[in-house]
Structure 1
Amino acid sequence: MSLRPFPRLFMLLHLTAALVAAVPVSSSSAGGVNSTSQPIDATFARRLPQALIIGAKKSGTRALLAFICMHPDVQAPGPEVHFFDRNYHRGLDWYRKRMPASLPSQLTMEKTPGYFISESAPSRVHSMNPDTRLVLVVRDPVTRILSDYAQASANAAGGSSRRRNRRNRRRKNRRKHRRRQAGRRGSSIKPIESLAFRSRPGNGSQPELLEVSANWTAVRIGEYARHLANWLAVFPRQQILVLSGERLVADPGAVMEELQRFLGLELIITGRHFYFDRRKGFHCLKKAGRRGKPRCLAGNKGRRHPNLAPELIRRLRQFYAPKNREFYAMTGVNFGWPEL
């Protein structure tokens, strides 16, 4: 019996799967959050996510998703969907259509860091599926502020790498749009000092003081205990995996093993799949096979952080110290972030 037809059959099956994934799901007429739709196929279909990376912004969520998506049993949409914080009114059918087609044995996972600080997201996620597994990545909140500001500054200036713009037309068009928007509001954002702090008038012998501006979003995101409490009011603690962003950078293999166990996946991605890229300054996934490419973060990662006076850094650390200790107690993990 000739074995020659089988490669052709495999190619046809692979092509069919790709085409099915591109077919939009037929939506029902209801259109509400609780509406349903028929799957693409009884086996290969778009499914609502069983797991979410909910945050925190600028803590390593993008790297975590990129690494876990190398697992053959994980599927995830491309950009952040923002369903539970911005697009909930569009309904579950809309959300389902943003998911990639998957097999019943695969796990669909979505990442939107904005979910963590949304007061509405926890109950909305629970309404979709009370068994949803939640993943939270956190880092030193002071360092997180600096990283957040660095990204905001780059966006206001219209992005960074012109070489990437030439290679990717879509990214170029997006950056052009950001430049136009930045031109309308000014080509740069305010200094970080004026955003992170506000003056408190003195009285008589007391000089003017600077206090942390708790209303600035970049500051609020780092109040992890406050936001986690909203999720723990709806989900049990064992359903939320809290990971260290610092550990993800230093030992990604160990973090990926912990994540795979939490998600109930076969342990495939381990430390032996990573290497440290000295030029980039962070770990990358090794390439698969001779023609594969290593999986690294984009070149805009590792942006230079703004220089903030040591005294202002100290004030931020003092502001977060009691909040961090509360977070350690809630999670049972001492992340050891500096307090001075």
Structure 2
Amino acid sequence: MAITPPFALFVGPTKSGTTWIHAYLEWRGDVALPSAMKETFFFDKVYERGFDWYTGLFPPETDTRLRVEVAPSLFHKPIACVRVKTHVPDAKIICTVRDPFDRAVSHFFHYRQRGAPRSSLKEMAETYPDIIEAGLYAQHAPRWEAAFGAGRFHLMSYKLLRDDPESFCRELCQILDLEYRPPPASLTDQQVNSAKVPRNLFLARMVQGTLTRLRRHGAHKVVSLLKHTQIKKWLYSRGESLAEERAEIRAQAASFSPALTADWSAFQSQNSLSGVQKAQ
């Protein structure tokens, strides 16, 4: 088996800095990430492929680098937690904590990028429930901690990543037992995976649908090649026209979901998590 301890899994949630973290770990070169893809979706969407398929995405056992996957879609899914515990029970589980209202706004634009029409935040959340679900820290964090133990479940601050990426990477390296290496200027000088919206909704949906089908059929190398073409430059705006829409959605975020408000308050009140709260 190619999944040899230690193994670390970043469970997300979506829009909490995981793309940046993946880029940093990939840049290091001394971490073994799944080959030819950024996310495997094994523990939630393609579990039927079997654990042997998943382990085959990592180097052979002769490669002694730390195995890591950055999987932002897992955090709010109970079945994913069960499956991870079944297959890699000694994994280190890392979750980045971001103010859930800011995260919801970012998640809104995540779906806009994929071709969702312009709407209110509430309407978008009704269509895509994970805009709320993925940010319910008080509900989901205890599940992962109970499954893996306080010593293997780690919370990290998105705000620290945003404001002081070097300190964030130092803390990250401590958790992963890696030699500290400051992030390169290519990461500290620009935002990774910044919000964009498509110039044409139909084309965006067509492209995203094609990429999804390719992933489901295992054509991850093709997906990777397409992402490195000029497709994003002509398909998406550079974000200049988003100021008005972003301000509108951000204004809606403060109180659009009572469930999110109650959950965030409960999460902040947990003494065991107070160190992360102060950093938000």
Measured against aligned partners, the alpha-carbon deviations of 1:20-75 in whole angstroms (never above 9, x if no partner) come to xxxxxxxxxxxxxxxxxxx6xxxxxx436711111010110010121123334211
- 2:182 alignment partner in structure 1: 270
Give structure 1 stretches of 5+ with no counterpart: 1-38, 40-45, 157-187, 198-212, 283-297
The question of whether the paired residues in 1 share the 8 Å contact of 2:108 and 2:124 is answered with no
Contact 2:96–2:155 under 8 Å retained in 1: yes
Gaps of 5+ in 2: 193-231
Partner of 2:107: 148
SS in 2 for 1:131: coil
Of the structure 1 ranges 123-132 and 58-67, higher mean CA displacement relative to structure 2 is found in 123-132
- The one-letter code sitting in structure 1 at the alignment partner of 2:265 is R
Deviation readout 1:104-161 (Å, 9 max, x if unpaired): 53101111111111111112111112210111112111111111111211211xxxxx
Of residues 18, 21, 29, the one that matches 1:64 is 21
* 8 Å CA contact 1:60, 1:248 repeated in 2: yes
Structure with greater Cα Rg:
1
Which 10-residue stretch deviates more, 300-309 or 46-55?
300-309
Distance 1:311 1:261, change over 3 A: closer
* Higher fraction of strand: 1
Alignment-mate amino acid for residue 315 of structure 1 = S
Greater helix share, structure number: 2
Distance of 1:262 and 1:116 partners within structure 2: 19
- Structure 2 residue identity aligned to 1:240: F
Give the structure 1 partner of residue 260 of structure 2.
320
**Residue 47 of structure 1 aligns to which amino acid in structure 2?**
I
- Distance in 1 separating the partners of 2:54 and 2:160: 32
Partners of 1:72 and 1:337 lie apart in 2 by 29
Change over 3 Å in CA distance of 1:62–1:310 after alignment to 2: closer
Q: Which moved more, 1:309-318 or 1:227-236?
A: 309-318
> CA 1:318–1:334 in structure 2 vs 1: closer, same or farther (change >3 Å)?
farther
Alpha-carbon distance, 1:99 to partner:
2.1
Counterpart amino acid of 1:225? A
Task: Indicate which of 42, 46, 54 corresponds to 1:87.
Answer: 46
Confirm or deny: 8 A CA contact 2:105 2:249 kept in the other structure.
no
User: Share of identical aligned residues, percent?
Assistant: 24
Describe how 1:212-223 pairs up with structure 2 within 5 A: 216-223=129-136
- Distance (whole Å) between structure 1 residues aligned to residue 127 and residue 114 of structure 2: 23
AA in 1 matched with 2:273: T
Aligned to 2:104, the other structure's residue is in SS state: helix
May I ask how many residue pairs the two structures share in their alignment?
Answer: 229
Q: Which amino acid aligns with 2:137?
A: Y
Greater RCO, 1 or 2 (C-alpha within 8 Å, sep 6+): 2
Q: Distance in 1 between matches of 2:278 and 2:71?
A: 26
Matches within 5 A, 1:62-211: 62-77=19-34, 78-101=37-60, 103-156=62-115, 188-189=116-117, 191-195=119-123
The structure-2 alpha-carbon separation of the partners of 1:302 and 1:64, relative to structure 1 and needing over 3 Å to count, comes to farther
Task: Return closer, same or farther for 1:73/1:153 CA change in 2, 3 Å cut-off.
Answer: same
CA RMSD of aligned residues (A): 3.1
Query: Take 1:123 and 1:319, find their aligned partners in 2: how far apart are those partners?
Result: 25
Matched-pair contact (CA < 8 Å) for 2:74–2:80? yes
Q: Hey, what's the Cα distance between the residues in 1 that align with 2:163 and 2:237? A: 15
Deviating beyond 4 angstroms after TM superposition, the runs of 4 or more aligned structure 1 residues are 101-104, 273-276, 298-303
Question: Given that residues 252 and 274 in structure 1 are in contact (C-alpha distance below 8 angstroms), is that contact kept between their aligned partners in structure 2?
Answer: no
